[in-house]
Amino acid sequence: MFFSRGTKAELAKLKSNVAAQQKSLLASLLASAWVVEARDPYTGGHLWRVAMLSGKLARALGLSESEANRIAMAGFLHDLGKIGVPDAILRKPDKLTDDEFAVIKTHPNIGARLIASHPFSPLVMNAVLGHHETPNGRGYPQGLSDAQIALDAKIVGVCDAFDAMTSSRPYRRGMPIEKALQIIASELGQQFDRRCGEALIALQGTGELEHIVGHSDEGIPLAQCLMCGPTLVQVRGSHAGGHLACPNCTADYVWESDAAGHLAAKPTGNKASADALAPVADVVQIEDLATRWVSALEVLQAP
């Protein structure tokens, strides 16, 4: 089949426009997930960390760059369903009751329903729905066994659990990387897929994990609230003199810059303003991630 030069140019322009629209749509979806995450004061940066870990683990398993990007994207979106979990449960500082945990266990199904009609649903549905399924069949929401669980869900599931173990909560400090990996090793074939778990454990000592654990972005560790611990998220647009709030105790902090230009959060002794407490997505980070993951969307354009 032959096309005129004008037709080829028009097709190229159309393809470029479609790609730009898809990237914009992806960015809006990532922003929604970011705001959902912000409801829990102790999960700042969780989606970024799970996404980065999932991408690295996918590459370690030999998947293509496009597939690794798709799974990283799914890692960022895996907790969308927590929008349906009440704040009283999501933000509870103590151990959950059985009834409260039953509510938490609804979030994969809620996320699946939210994403079902979205054009990117085929790319992330397995991870959104299945990241709490376990090889021994005791996971949720469907109680699937090993062979029934999609690889995407296995990857995101072990990365999600690893980040939960190495992150601080009101009732405990985050575990050292070594201890978290020892727990994963003890649960291979039971709570965690053996191949995925072994590949994650093999990253120990490479420096790949240390640059993610305790961070909310590339090279940006979580900042410490004097009362609550690592709850302060520095976004890429943060600057000296800018204010931020601890989402847990609502204390007001201001960014101060040292001689090297590094920012540190300093308490003002005041309560944060309503504006500072309002969740606002890190648009710079999201634009960067959307640009990085746009290759994963190309499969949607395939005939």
Domain containing residue 22: CATH number? 1.10.3210.10
On whether residue 261 sits in a domain, the answer given is no
On whether residue 242 sits in a domain, the answer given is no
On whether residue 119 sits in a domain, the answer given is yes
Which structural domain range is residue 79 located in?
5-221+281-301
Number of domains in the chain: 1
Q: What is the pLDDT of residue 103?
A: 97
On whether residue 241 sits in a domain, the answer given is no
Confidence bin at 4 (pLDDT 50/70/90) = low
Supply the angle between the helices 121-130 and 151-166 in degrees, to the nearest 10: 50
On whether residue 103 sits in a domain, the answer given is yes
How far CA 52 is from CA of 66, 106, 156, in Å, comes to 14, 25, 10
On whether residue 259 sits in a domain, the answer given is no
On whether residue 245 sits in a domain, the answer given is no
Least confident of 2-11, 44-53, 217-226, 238-247: 2-11
pLDDT digits (tens, 9 = 90+) for 190-205: 999 999 999 999 999 8
Percent with pLDDT over 70 in the chain: 97
